[in-house]
Amino acid sequence: MNEFDKIVELGKKGQKALNQYWLDYSLYASVEYWMMVLFFAGPLILLLFKIDRTKIFRIAFYGYSVHVFFGYEDLFGRNMGYWNYPFPVIPVLPGISMDSSLIPVTFMLVYQWTLNHEKNYYLYATLTAAILSFAFKPILVALGLFKMYGNVHYFHLFLSYFSVVILAKVITDFFVWMKSHAKTEQNDGSTT
């Protein structure tokens, strides 16, 4: 337990150092910081106007699934030292702009579009994952908003996005199936 306590203490020191870095360099006053704020607030505002309210719970459940799974993957990547965000909106939640807004909302709108236009979700989600991995992330890297370390490549990011959107879709489909199955059972029970 002593070793574990030392590890926890190291984590606290690391977070304290990040908080101090955020304050010392006045990251909250930089253009990069405000871009990250925009990446957080902008998609959420857009979603308020664009979400299909007739399917809001299904789309929101899907988006929440993307948020949770992507948050786990992003946390894993940051904890392993694979990547990080030099200009966090909130130092204790470095990836909040991406994890909680930009990525989930992007995929929610793709999911909604494929539902409403009866298009192949897997094709368009994969294309979106590719665009985010091979076009958007390199732009973030060039702007200094995202850093990758070690042998991490954009293909690794693509695999991360791809696994999240597949898992989110499978989970959503499972709950949609359970809901429709429950209605069928209710109807069968009331007719007998």
Degrees, nearest 5: CA angle 119-71-33? 100
Q: What is the pLDDT of residue 142?
A: 96
Q: In whole numbers, what is the pLDDT of the chain averaged over residues?
A: 91
Amino acid at 86: P
Q: What is the pLDDT of residue 157?
A: 96
Q: What are 134's two structure tokens?
A: 């091979």
Buried b (16+ CB within 10 A) or exposed e, 151-169: ebebeebbebbbebbbbbb
| Rounded CA separation 57/44 (Å) | 16
The number of beta carbons lying within 10 Å of the beta carbon of residue 6 is: 10
- The answer to whether 124 and 63 have CB atoms below 8 angstroms apart is no
Residue partners of 73: CB distance under 8 A and separation at least 6: 160, 163, 164
Q: What is the pLDDT of residue 192?
A: 47
Strand, helix or coil at 116? helix
Q: What is the pLDDT of residue 188?
A: 66
Q: What is the pLDDT of residues 24-61, one digit of tens each?
A: 877 778 899 899 999 999 999 999 999 999 999 999 99
Q: What is the pLDDT of residues 111-159, one digit of tens each?
A: 999 999 999 999 999 999 999 999 999 999 999 999 999 999 999 999 9
| Rounded CA separation 138/134 (Å) | 6
